[in-house]
């Protein structure tokens, strides 16, 4: 099979879909690999590393044109829509429920789209989990920075020092992002509360975090906890679907004037009603006097670490797809759960629910 790795062109994104080690393994199985020039530089891989592994290093046009299988990190942006076509399989994060424009482009093109974020093994999302772990930790690291006075914050340390009341962190959603955000916040010494709606998961979190408050999440509890928080981390995920809006605009009046909202669910539309995507270049905006930090693709800040963590997880699925897309989807239920579009139809229940007027094969 001809497998291609484009350079990511989404702003502030430097991860790469394949490492040279993966290229070596694919070439050893008699596949042909095309890597766009400079695709791996931000992740620590030079073009010569890919050449030494057996890849062809090519232009953007050639990389897309040669491909039967595209392995990316982030969803295509507008200038890449023209490369989508029937007979091409795209394996990447898609987050289609948060982007009608991309969903329509994929349907119109006839491309087969398989989304990392909905590949599922039981209740586990193995291709989302490593990035969620990183994103949770970065959420707290960035919150700590933006609480500082020189960053426009109130001048509060995220954590505690003897004799001073510690900062308070409210984590809404106790999945992988929430767990790792809580780990980072607890490690810093903050007063942490985790809200989680699943009873089984709540009990797990209660065991994991004996020094935190772990509470059942509902609208009433959210309204009770918001006034205490210096930082609110939104980390609620419904796989493949748009995130629920758990903190609404009227709730902003309950917050401390200096509170910071950090929405890690922004790639899926955000779990705060007032969320809109931002970038590391311009990460913070205010609504009703409350600052919001809503940087999309948070792990893009650490592309070396993130690429290694992601590709460790994607490797077996890439190898399976390289052996034949139809066979891989037919024999691997986890991979089949990631199928988002095919032959001009939506194949993901979550995306179909977000856009009920678009054609779906469900």
**CATH number of the domain where residue 311 is located:** 3.40.50.720
Query: CB-based burial of residue 253 (10 Å sphere; 0-12 exposed, 13-18 middle, 19+ buried)?
Result: exposed
pTM: 0.92
- How far is the C-alpha of 361 from the C-alpha of 342, rounded, in Å? 9
Contact between 93 and 71 under an 8 Å Cβ cutoff? The reply is no
Q: Is the residue at 242 inside a domain?
A: yes
The pLDDT tens digits of the residues spanning 22-53 come to 999 999 999 999 999 999 999 999 999 999 99
**Residues in contact with 146: Cβ distance below 8 Å, sequence separation at least 6, in sequence order:** 152, 153, 260, 283, 284, 291, 293
Share of the chain above pLDDT 70, in %: 100
Task: Pull the structure tokens for residue 166.
Answer: 């510690």
Residues 152 and 193 in one domain: yes
Whether residues 113 and 202 share a domain: the answer is no
Domain around 232: 129-301
Pair 47, 69 in one domain: yes
Query: pLDDT per residue over 223-257, tens digit each?
Result: 999 999 999 999 998 877 888 999 999 999 999 99
Tell me: the pLDDT tens digits for 47-82?
999 999 999 999 999 999 999 999 999 999 999 999
Report CA-CA distances (Å) from 150 to 156, 160, 231: 11, 19, 17
Q: Is residue 360 part of a domain?
A: no
CA distance 280 to 297: 10
Separation between Cα atoms, residue 227 and residue 147, nearest integer Å: 17
Contact 48, 56 (CB under 8 A): no
Query: Domain boundary residue among 301, 330, 346?
Result: 301
- Spell out a b/e string for 124-155, using b for 16 or more CB atoms within 10 Å of the CB, else e: ebbbbbbbbbbbbbbbbbbbbebbeeeeebbe
Residues 103-159 pLDDT 10s: 999 999 999 999 999 999 998 999 999 999 999 999 999 999 999 999 999 999 999
Question: Is position 95 annotated as part of the catalytic site?
Answer: yes
Active-site annotation holder among 95, 146, 180, 292: 95
List the one residue out of 178, 134, 162 whose CA is nearest residue 302: 134
Of the three residues 264, 282, 301, the one that is the final residue of a domain is 301
pLDDT of residue 297: 87
Say if 37 falls within a structural domain: yes
Whether residue 359 lies inside any domain: the answer is no
Query: Do 61 and 115 belong to one domain?
Result: yes
Q: Are residues 266 and 327 in the same domain?
A: no
> Which letter does DSSP use for residue 279 in this model?
-
295 and 315 housed in the same domain? no
Helix, strand, or coil here: 25? helix
13, part of any domain: yes
Contacts of 250 (CB under 8 A, 6+ apart): none
Q: Are 52 and 20 spatial neighbours (Cβ–Cβ below 8 Å)?
A: yes
39 with 85, same domain: the answer is yes
Same domain, 191 and 250: yes
DSSP 121-156: BTTB-TTTHHHHHHHHHHHHHHHHHHTSGGGTS---
Residue that finishes a domain, picked among 258, 274, 301: 301
Q: Is 180 an annotated catalytic residue?
A: no
Q: Is residue 36 part of a domain?
A: yes
Tell me, what's the pLDDT at 238? 82
> Are 266 and 296 in a shared domain?
yes
Examine the domain organization and report whether 25 and 105 are in the same domain.
yes
pLDDT band at 327, cuts 50/70/90? Answer: very high
Q: What is the pLDDT of residue 267?
A: 87
Tell me the CA distances in angstroms from 299 to 12, 134, 288, 329, one per residue in order.
10, 6, 28, 28
Structure tokens at 274: 């007032």
**Residue 361 is assigned to a structural domain of this protein:** no
Q: Which residues of 20-31 are buried (b: 16+ CB within 10 A; e: fewer)?
A: bebbebbeeeeb
Note the pLDDT tens digit of each residue in 305-326: 999 999 999 999 999 999 999 9
Catalytic residue among 31, 263, 267, 292: 267
362 within domain boundaries: no
> Is residue 166 domain-shared with residue 98, that is, in the same domain?
no
Structure tokens at 88: 């091409």
Q: Are strands 89-92 and 112-115 parallel, antiparallel or unpaired?
A: parallel
The alpha carbon of residue 189 and the mean position of all alpha carbons in its chain are separated, in whole angstroms, by 26
Number of separate domains in the chain: 2
pLDDT of residue 314: 98
Give the per-residue pLDDT at 241: 81
Check residue 74 and give left, alpha or beta (phi > 0: left; psi -120 to 50: alpha). beta
- Is there a single domain that holds both residue 294 and residue 324? no
Give residue-wise pLDDT tens across range 270-293.
999 999 999 999 999 999 999 999
| Whole-number pLDDT of residue 240 | 77
């Amino acid at each position: 099979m001809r497998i291609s790795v484009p350079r990511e062109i989404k702003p502030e994104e430097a991860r790469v879909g394949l490492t040279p080690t993966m290229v070596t393994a694919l070439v050893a199985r008699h596949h042909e690999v095309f890597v766009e020039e400079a695709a791996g530089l931000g992740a620590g891989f030079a073009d010569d590393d890919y050449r030494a592994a057996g890849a062809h290093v090519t232009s953007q046009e050639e990389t897309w044109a040669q491909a039967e299988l595209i392995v990316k990190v982030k969803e295509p942006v507008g200038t890449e829509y023209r490369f989508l076509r029937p007979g091409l399989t795209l394996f990447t994060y898609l987050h289609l429920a948060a982007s009608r424009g991309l969903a329509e482009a994929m349907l119109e093109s006839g491309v087969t789209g398989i989304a990392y974020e909905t590949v599922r093994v039981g209740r586990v999302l193995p291709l989302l989990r490593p990035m969620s772990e990183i994103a949770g930790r970065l959420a707290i690291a960035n919150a700590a920075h933006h609480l500082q006075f020189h960053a426009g914050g109130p001048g509060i340390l995220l954590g505690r020092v003897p004799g001073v009341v510690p900062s308070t962190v409210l984590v809404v959603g106790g999945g992988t992002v929430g767990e790792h955000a809580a780990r980072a916040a607890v490690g810093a010494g903050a007063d942490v509360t985790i809200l989680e709606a699943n009873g089984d998961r709540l009990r797990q979190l209660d065991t994991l975090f004996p020094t935190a408050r772990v509470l059942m999440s509902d609208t009433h509890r959210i309204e009770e906890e918001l006034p205490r928080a210096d930082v609110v981390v939104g980390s609620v995920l419904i796989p493949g679907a748009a995130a629920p809006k758990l903190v609404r605009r009227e709730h902003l009046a309950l917050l401390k004037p200096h509170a910071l909202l950090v929405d890690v669910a922004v790639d899926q539309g955000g779990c705060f009603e007032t969320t809109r995507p931002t970038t590391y270049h311009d990460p913070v905006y205010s609504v009703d006097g409350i600052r919001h930090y809503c940087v999309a693709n948070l792990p893009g800040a650490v592309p070396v670490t993130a690429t290694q963590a992601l590709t460790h997880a994607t490797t077996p699925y890439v190898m399976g797809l390289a052996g034949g897309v139809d066979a891989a989807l037919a024999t691997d239920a986890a991979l089949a759960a990631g199928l988002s579009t095919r032959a001009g139809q939506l194949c993901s229940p979550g995306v179909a629910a977000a856009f009920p007027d678009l054609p779906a094969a469900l």
